[in-house]
Amino acid sequence: MINNYFFTAAHNVLGLKVYNAAEGGLERGKAWIREKTLQDGQIPRWNCPNAYGLLRQSDLDSYQSAHPSGNAFDILLVRSTSGDLGQFSYSVNGISVSVHIFDMNYAPDGNISYKRGFPPRGNRLDTGSEQSMHQSSSYAGSNRSEGFSGSGTEGTGDESYLLIRSTASSRQRNRTVETVVVARK
């Protein structure tokens, strides 16, 4: 009985370690997005083969033939203007973590054959009014160096929906977690 309890507890602890490592990958993905946005002056995006943001099945097929070991939907991986791909791996305490950052701002042409793992499409919700970059009152706030009233109403500016997918793996356990981030510049 004690032996059974020990192995059950050890299994649960390993599961939590793998989950925490996967969650850490999400945080590193957010940090990567922020770093590249500040460095390049714009939010990382996928390299769309056309000017309309339209994703066609032919785009997926040609990407898959050029990258046979990957997934066709990896075409939606973001890339900074300096050329860094939104995909990286690292190891923490013997657990391997792989992070993929996908752009959700695409328009499918209707003929796409979806498969498991395909990032969903994200749309900007139009609320009918400008959104504030930070919450503020109509009075200038000295703690934010606001020199005139209304300085907190810059509008939404550049906005992008990004999916961060983090997979943590040990010898016995794998865990994938995802989050959607609305990146604004």
Please write down the HEC assignment for all residues of the chain.
Answer: CHHHHHHHHHHHHHHHHHHHHHHHHHHHHHHHHHHHHHHHCCCCECCCCCCCCEECHHHHHHHHHHCCCCCHHHHHECECCCCCECEEEEEECCEEEEEEEEECCCEECCCCCCCCCCCCCCCCCCCCCCCCCCCCCCCCCHHHCCCCCCCCCCCCCCEEEEEEEEEEECCCCEEEEEEEEEEEC
Does 167 map to a domain?
Answer: yes
Is 137 part of a structural domain of the chain?
no
Contact 166, 99 (CB under 8 A): yes
Q: Which residue has the tokens 């209707």?
A: 110
- Note whether residue 147 is domain-resident: no
Per the structure, how many domains does the chain have? Answer: 1
Q: Report the alpha-carbon distance of residue 97 to residue 23 in Å, rounded.
A: 10
Identify whether 150 is part of a domain. no
Residue 9 lies in a domain: yes
29 lies in which domain range?
2-123+155-184
The rounded distance, in Å, linking the Cα atoms of 88 and 80 is: 13
In a domain, 139, yes or no: no
- Token couple for 52: 């309309």
| Residue whose pair of structure tokens reads 């939907």 in the numeric block | 73
pLDDT reported for residue 98: 97
pLDDT of residue 101: 97
Model confidence over 58-79: pLDDT tens digits?
999 999 999 898 889 999 999 9
Residue 35, domain member (yes or no): yes
Check residue 115 and give its pLDDT. Answer: 85
Residue 129 in tokens: 């009014």
- Asked if residues 63 and 75 have their Cβ atoms less than 8 Å apart, the reply is yes
Would 26 be classed as within a structural domain? yes
Listed as ranges, residues in the chain with pLDDT below 50 are 129-142, 144-154
First to last CA, the chain: 57
Model pLDDT, residue 135? 47
